[in-house]
Amino acid sequence: MSLSLLLIPYALVVAIFIIFTLINIYHIANSAAMTAVSFTVTFFILALGVLTIYGTWYLLQNVDWGQPLLYAYS
């Protein structure tokens, strides 16, 4: 069991974020709620999401994902 197993929950959270973002954009377009406030809030949410994904990539780029998750002490 390697450390890369921890990427599965992270990928699920990112997928859920993308799904809700697409639902939000569809709802804005479908309900004709195209105001400056709705676009501003949507932009900030998207920007924070992109910054979070970039920050995660930047901080974890040197991690050896082949390391075992649990060490067996004997």
0.75 surpassed by pTM = no
- pLDDT, tens digit, 9 for 90 and up, residues 1-37: 788 888 899 999 999 999 999 998 888 888 887 888 8
Residue with the larger pLDDT of the pair 38 and 15 = 15
* Model pLDDT, residue 73: 65
In DSSP notation, 40-66 reads HHHHHHHHHHHHHHHHHHHHHTT--TT
